[in-house]
Structure 1
Amino acid sequence: MKSISNQNHGFSLIELVVAIAIMILLLGGGIAAFAKFNDKQKLLSASRELGQLLRIAQTKARAREIPDDGVCDPVDNPIMAYRVISDGAGAPGTLVRVYPICGLTQSDYGDPDSNSDPILSLDLPTNITLEEAMKVDFQALYGGAQIDGASTFHLSSGSNQVEFSISEGGAIGDVVESIP
């Protein structure tokens, strides 16, 4: 006589639905974590680029490098500083520019002509905001920095925020993460 056994060789519909639901939850959490990580990395990258732009302006000022545009003349109109300015504060996608500042005395030079071309510029990505307006003169003769406004600058993207500072001596601080 043959015995009939009731053996299941597969999964029930409920088991499959539960397994798929768990996989969807894990996948959704992984995608959200990756998006947050990616935003943070873009912010750190933009802050490093801004720091590099500041260091280039600082180096050019310390070396008293005269730009090739013919604006500055070593005798009559010497290089006094390199100015780093931003378009504004709190707006995403800010443009940061570097201009040479020439003159015989500090009172000779004002803001660069709005029609003049910067020697360097950095266009921050549209999702990254520079919270403070930036106007920093890296002095050629004195070696320090003349900062108009705040000396600590914050960059933000979503819930991520980093900051760095510039001292009056011209030292550019490292980028550190800050809690908004």
Structure 2
Amino acid sequence: MWWHNLGITPLEGLWVVLSAFGIYAAFFVLIRLAGQRALASWSTMDKAIVIAFGSVLGRVVLGYTPTLAAGVIALATMFALFRLEALLRRTRRGAYLSSTPILLMAGDQVVASGLRAARIVEDEVYFKLRQAGIRNFSEVGLVILEPTGDVSVLRRGELIDPVLLSRITDKGSIPAHLLLPG
């Protein structure tokens, strides 16, 4: 048969699709359990671990004897799942797929509940403050862990439009004097 020339049978191709779906779903759940911190800035060790993960995931998806056809099927499946997830995120029901921004600091006060929810420590926040050029806590307006894993540092000075903070957790910790009236 022609598929033997490709190195994969239709049944093996189906297993590649199912494996790719299973790994994608498992990875999604594990990232959600690990929290947004898993997506934040990575150390050298984190990068090495990601490379190792990629190798393990590739072997699981492609099966015992990887072939070009299996690789193409797996890649197409992963891209299709990625696109499906992006489409679902745009729907009202897709909100559960997205993380919410987490408030880490409000003014010069660290928000302990935000640190716990983000699974990060104060030293990591201080690192991000230094990266943003903050020299003194009095310069800090808000520090937010974004759904992407990035940390936003908003400086004091200009009032912050509350619309920009609509999905942030623990909004009650934000001092009113930092916000535009409204």
Q: Tell me if both proteins adopt one fold, taking TM over 0.5 as the criterion.
A: no
What's the TM-score once normalised by structure 2's chain length? 0.31
Determine which structure has more spread, i.e. the larger CA radius of gyration.
Answer: 1
Greater percentage in strand = 1
Greater percentage in helix = 2
**Highest RCO, 1 vs 2 (Cα 8 Å, sep ≥ 6):** 2
What's the TM-score once normalised by structure 1's chain length? 0.31
